[in-house]
Structure 1
Amino acid sequence: MEVSVTTQSRIPGFRDGSPGDRRVSAARNAGVPLAALEVLTSGGLTVEQADGMIENVLGTFGMPIGVATNLTVNGADVLVPMVTEEPSVVAAASNAARIARERGGFHTSSSEPIMQAQLQLLDVADPDGARVRLLEAADELIGLANDQDPRLVSVGGGVRDLAVRTVEARAGRYVVVHLVVDVRDAMGANAVNTMAEALADRVGEIGGGRVLLRILTNKADLRLARARAVFAADSLGGAEVVGDIVHAAALAEADPYRAATHNKGIMNGITAVVLATGNDTRAVEAGAHSHAIGADGRYTALSHFEVDRDGDLVGTLELPMPVGLVGGATKVHPAAQTAVRLLGVSSASELAEVITAVGLAQNFAALRALATEGIQRGHMSLHARNIAVSAGATADEIPEVVRRLVADRAIRTDRAEQVLAELRARGS
């Protein structure tokens, strides 16, 4: 990954400013005009724009968008926009990135942006013979598919291979054709689906059957992104904490009950960036969780943590990352366009690698909390703030309500209402 904009992501005091102060700081440190971030103050989408995106529109639905700071990816600083409703996610990613900076930040890589489409062939008398016939016709079918998207081919993308499988199912034996397509800077769903539709009749003729499904697969296991980081033992509290983090991660590798929550922590970071950039959160999540099922059929952790020869903690994460910079909401939603501009990435592969780094940062932060103070303490003050607001506290009242809720270890709306009533009675 090579980020094209010179960004400074280490911004001391960033969290202490107002939203307006943070926009000024983010714009200055990312090298973008302040005016470009103003769209984020109103949700970034008009009702008219929303009406062109989905059906039966009533309005728009706001979500907080924050910025994760401190991230260094392959030697370049990046400010990462994140859309999430969950307290502590942005703060945790920022803090984890700060620790990772001591050992050079995050190192990333990725495979080519390959997506696949499937065509399901039914009622075939000779499935094995059909498979071979279709492979014999691979050049013809690839040419036909590439004819559907000459622009993609012109920028270096297009079909790279054609594979054919036979699949035993309870309703019969199917012949399944896979189109393996380099989609370049697109997420790729529309491109591969169009190609599959165009091939259906010819595949049916050659295979001697009826094509039913022709659609992409979200198991994007040929489009992988990887991230690695070293976290200094001294910054974590020593060898015992490092060892406990490794033990916590090992349980996720061995136990699917723990793995589900472990991977959810990874997706807290990943989904927040995917959503901010206008990409398909469901596609990324489907690909990630399917990738977590190993060769033995067992659901396991997506990330791994171990101790290096210096006693420091090494974290790694590899998973499918089908995201794009062209097409879809990324090009339609003004706030998504602003988020991409703030990131400073220039290709889908760069975006995928940054997102994966954020996922690893989020995962490390959760494991560290679990191995030390417990997850609730880290969430407590931020959750208390939400409770205070829901109880009706004003901006001036929130700090004291939060302090009392945390001190009492009673992060509940009824307690917030009680504290608020006491404060107002005292002030009257």
Structure 2
Amino acid sequence: MTEDKIPRTSRISGFHKLAVDERIEQVAAFAGLADDHRRQLALPSNIDTHLADHMIENMVTTIAIPVGIATNMRVDGRDVLVPMATEESSVVAAVGNAARQCYESGGFATSMSGTEMIAQIQLLDIPDPVRARLLVLERREEIENICNACDPVLVGLGGGFRDLEVRLVDTPAGRMVITHIVVDTRDAMGANAVNSMAERLAPDIAAWTGGRTLLRILSNLADRRVVRARATWTCDAIGGTRVRDAMIDAYQFADNDPYRAATHNKGIMNGISAVVLATGNDTRAVESGAHAFAARTGRYRSLTSWEVTAGGDLAGAIELPLAVGLVGGAVKIHPTARALLAILQAETASDLTRIIAAVGLAQNFSAMKALATEGIQRGHMALHAQNLAFAAGAVGNEVGEVARRIIAQRSINEAAAGTALAELRGQ
């Protein structure tokens, strides 16, 4: 590429039409990237470049996230190995450890409310919103036919339109009439299906009411798709009544203080999002729905609940909306996601959802136990120390030894790792 063609502005005409290697060159020239960075962007991955280029816009590279396997998981009487994609140390180990400690008492039991999703249609400029609401409700059968005609394949699989709700929402801009169409999306997450139905239905709602429709989009607060998981940990398995009671106190703190609840629930999502990502599902949709659900009472609270059983053991439960699927989107076309789903052996979206909820509960157990006993840093920083050793340039057996030294020194940082590596090599 000649000097006069090197872009010096982010307004790069026709960037999306370039081949991937040409995009890399444009970006590298603009940012002044070193050759090692250019080569890194061009490296192959376990997803074909042509496929990646068609999944998103202006693709230049892929970024690999490690995938680990959580062991010891027993969900609804079935043993499963759970793939988890995450960059954070200790997350996979935490799930496996929690599952091991409740394995003998039966593992995790789950239930689910269904596989329904909601799409919303916003109606504005209505002088008589109460009347408009009734006009829409009176068309229920017609609405059902319109929605089902949008996706006959879904209907053939046993899904399709299930219910109709019309809400009046007061806002500073005036009262709005919000129509909810409730659709059973079966083994799909369902965003495309319900969005298409909302788009098709909106002009009819405007015509029936004389109003103006604006937004036509699904809701990620999937409260028709709530999953629950529970498990019991015996006092003997977790280290006695003192540990049990400390964990109950930790839970009560999270459930009654939003500052603590935010981090408490983030830990839960460490596990949940890792499985969602590994299976090619939408982490942002799941996370937004979970946090909205945590605030459904008007106060942001814990997604889990913990109590002492009549026998004196520790019982935990989780309840949250989880909209994930086995078909459609990246789930269908990403080869690694397909392989990881094969490891899970989930036959339905419901199976996958139940496993994910169990992982979230397991993750919460381990985080609370660590916080209530030795503190979160001990186990987490032991794994983090290895990352620091890598960053300092350690290879092979040096990694473990450098990590051991900086842990012993209680100086778990990159500078200490560099010093420890230099000392090790000096010996």
Q: TM-score, normalised by structure 1?
A: 0.89
Task: Confirm or deny: 8 A CA contact 1:44 1:333 kept in the other structure.
Answer: no
Task: Confirm or deny: 8 A CA contact 1:233 1:239 kept in the other structure.
Answer: yes
The residue correspondences of 1:7-406 to structure 2 (distance < 5 A) are 43-295=45-297, 297-406=298-407
Per the alignment, residue 11 of structure 1 pairs with none
Per the alignment, residue 12 of structure 2 pairs with none
The residue correspondences of 1:400-419 to structure 2 (distance < 5 A) are 400-419=401-420
| CA drift at 1:66 | 0.6
How many angstroms apart in 2 are the aligned matches of 1:201 and 1:125? 18
| CA drift at 1:198 | 0.4
| CA drift at 1:44 | 2.7
Aligned length: 384
- Match for 1:66: what amino acid? G
- Match for 2:266: what amino acid? K
How many angstroms apart in 2 are the aligned matches of 1:292 and 1:423? 49
Offset from partner CA, 1:193-244 (integer Å, 9 cap, x none)? 0000000110101121011000000010110111000011111111111011
- Match for 1:324: what amino acid? G
Higher relative contact order (CA 8 A, sep 6+): 1
Offset from partner CA, 1:120-153 (integer Å, 9 cap, x none)? 0011121000000110111111111110000111
| CA drift at 1:381 | 1.4
Task: Confirm or deny: 8 A CA contact 2:227 2:322 kept in the other structure.
Answer: yes
RMSD over equivalenced CA pairs, Å: 0.8
How many angstroms apart in 1 are the aligned matches of 2:51 and 2:102? 40
- Match for 1:220: what amino acid? A
Task: Confirm or deny: 8 A CA contact 2:67 2:84 kept in the other structure.
Answer: yes
Per the alignment, residue 6 of structure 1 pairs with none
Runs of 4+, deviation exceeding 2 Å: none
How many angstroms apart in 2 are the aligned matches of 1:390 and 1:291? 39
| CA drift at 1:410 | 0.7
Per the alignment, residue 16 of structure 1 pairs with none
Task: Confirm or deny: 8 A CA contact 1:197 1:214 kept in the other structure.
Answer: yes
- Match for 2:134: what amino acid? V
Task: Confirm or deny: 8 A CA contact 1:43 1:63 kept in the other structure.
Answer: no
Uncovered stretches (5+) of structure 2, i.e. residues with no partner: 1-43
| CA drift at 1:43 | 4.5
Match of 1:190, SS state, is: helix
How many angstroms apart in 2 are the aligned matches of 1:64 and 1:170? 47
Match of 1:95, SS state, is: helix
Task: Confirm or deny: 8 A CA contact 1:106 1:357 kept in the other structure.
Answer: yes
Offset from partner CA, 1:33-90 (integer Å, 9 cap, x none)? xxxxxxxxx7531211100100000011111011000000011000000000000000
Task: Confirm or deny: 8 A CA contact 2:102 2:237 kept in the other structure.
Answer: no
How many angstroms apart in 2 are the aligned matches of 1:289 and 1:229? 22
Q: TM-score, normalised by structure 2?
A: 0.89
| CA drift at 1:102 | 1.8
- Match for 1:413: what amino acid? E
| CA drift at 1:294 | 3.4
How many angstroms apart in 2 are the aligned matches of 1:311 and 1:369? 20
Offset from partner CA, 1:295-315 (integer Å, 9 cap, x none)? 2x1100010010001111000
Task: Confirm or deny: 8 A CA contact 1:265 1:362 kept in the other structure.
Answer: yes
Task: Confirm or deny: 8 A CA contact 2:289 2:322 kept in the other structure.
Answer: yes
Task: Confirm or deny: 8 A CA contact 2:285 2:323 kept in the other structure.
Answer: yes
Uncovered stretches (5+) of structure 1, i.e. residues with no partner: 1-41
How many angstroms apart in 1 are the aligned matches of 2:393 and 2:326? 41
Offset from partner CA, 1:170-213 (integer Å, 9 cap, x none)? 11111110000000000000000000000011010112101100
Per the alignment, residue 4 of structure 2 pairs with none
Per the alignment, residue 24 of structure 1 pairs with none
